[in-house]
Chains A and B, each alone.
Chain A
Amino acid sequence: MRKDFPLFKYRKTLHYLDNAATTQKPKVVIDTISGHLSKDNANTHRGIYDLSEQVTARVAASRKTIAGFVNADPLEIIFVRNTTEGMNQLANSLGKNFAQGSGNAGNIVVTEIEHHSNFVPWQELARSKGMEFRVARLDKESLLLESIAGLVDDKTRIVSFTAISNVTGAMLDVKKIVGDIRAKNPNTIIIVDAAQAIAHEKVDVKDWDVDFLCFSMHKIYGPLIGVVYGKKSLLERIHPFFYGGNMISTVTIEKSTWADLPEKFEAGTINGPAIIASAEAVKYLEGIGFAKTMAVEERLRAYTIKQLRAIPQVKILGHSKVKDPVHQITGYGPVISFTVDGVHPHDLATICNKHQVCIRAGHHCCQPFMHALGIAATARASLAFYNKKQDSDALITAIKDAIKTITR
């Protein structure tokens, strides 16, 4: 498994624990991109010649593979730059249907633990339309969330929340939350940020019954593209993301009409090589067995937590047994944020670097989350199935070195 990833051959002594930021790529993904550009490169949809037809077919097959991975119809899969773009496009597109209002324009609901990319677009949309912006609050002691559905009423137009927190790894029961929201308001549009979830739990858009869902391939061993899933009936009704080539049906001086799904949302030349390579990432993962990779990650998470707990100065955010009275948070995935008494996260990350341990230090694009906790920053170690016990051991050594070096 680890041997399939060229980076670890080039950097034998690296302990890469920043997978929540981006993941390493298996050789098959890298080779697919360079192979495609070397031997098979042409634009999709444009040409009648063989090469173009082949690329078009490969992209279509890749779309089907990626759709299958999340149990969606291929027509419901739209390729974008990343999750951030996906959320912004949805906000723009959905927002076009919201009349400018004041007071009675409705409300949008998010949570206090959202990544900025699933917080700011909705905050801005609410502000620009005069809508109320409601935030399900975090309890800093229990690290549990106020009931999301509890904030939903008959004026709620959109709810957007994360499936797994990129700070603490907290896993939300998406299916249950969606059901609770629909019970309160069947018309609310429900959007899920699956950027962290896609690599660490089974994402099933039909089972979850979400309206839209966004994730990034680069967080699941693929190249730098993102995916927006949307229910077919909704995608047919909402405004396109971009306008121009490929997303049109007819264009005259008087007006233009749009192409069918999914082209309606993919203006211009799409990143064919990246889409094809993304399907290879999915196939690679399914070849190993997604259940197997999740099991490896869970064992490593448990091992890392046990080791961290043995250091008295370390405080882990979460990762203890969950008892959520509103049944939203069910457990923790392989993303671990922690602080070290007497060692600023910046200094910790720098000393980790000395030990070739790659962790992240900061607010992790979650300033509201940090503010709710009353801290400015944490250190974060995030695992993938190619990490080994030695990576965790190196982290522990680095933490102890930092404590010894800096504290008195």
Chain B
Amino acid sequence: MILKMEPDAINNIDAMYREELLEYYHNPANKGTIANADIQFSDKNPLCGDSVDIYVKLEVKDRIITQMRFVGTGCVISMASAAIVSEYAEGKSIDEMQRMTREDMLGLLGLQLTPSRVKCAMLALTALKKGIVDYESKK
């Protein structure tokens, strides 16, 4: 589910705090943990205290993410992004998620952001990527 990109909307505050994103913030899809997760990773932005733990269950042979969950604390952008990317990741391969760019992430959110807020948006995806690297190295 890709949200539509707002034109000329760098840090467009109305776009950032629109109802869809606030809904993800207050009622996050995929909030929770996974016991016996195949991938588990914690990451934080020490500058502001946004932090996230991600959990992933894989269908191992085809390296497909069957389940992704997260828990965390942080601003609207970081938490809504974590919820959105968790939803998006399910059914995708870990290679596909590893290839996902900053632009892809902002496209999912339907936002353009200045560098300081991009970090918030990327927190969960970055944690997932680091978790994937971790998982690959252990195999």
Contact = CB atoms under 8 A, between A and B. Distances in A.
Interface of A: 344-347, 350-351, 353-354, 361-363, 367, 370, 375-377, 405-406, 408
A87 B122 CA distance: 35
Contact of B50 (A346, A354, A406): A346
Contacts of A377: 47-49
Q: Is the interface of A mostly helix, strand, loop or mixed?
A: helix
A405 B21 CA distance: 11
Given A346-B74, A362-B47, 8 more contacts: A344-B50, A346-B117, A346-B120, A347-B77, A350-B117, A363-B46, A376-B46, A406-B76
B1 interface: no
Contacts of B75: 344-347
Interface residues of B, number: 20
B48 A350 contact: no
A283 B127 CA distance: 53
Interface string B66-97: 00000000111110000000000000000000
Nearest to B16: A350
Nearest to B113: A350
A282 B126 CA distance: 48
Contacts of B13: 350-351, 353-354
A351 B16 CA distance: 10
Nearest to A342: B26
Nearest to A361: B48
B50 A408 contact: no
A376 B11 contact: no
A344 B76 contact: yes
B21 to A, nearest CB: 10
Nearest to A408: B26
Interface in B12-36: 13, 16-17, 22, 25-26
B41 to A, nearest CB: 19
15 contacts: A344-B49, A346-B77, A347-B17, A347-B76, A351-B13, A354-B13, A362-B48, A363-B49, A375-B49, A376-B46, A376-B50, A376-B51, A377-B47, A377-B48, A406-B22
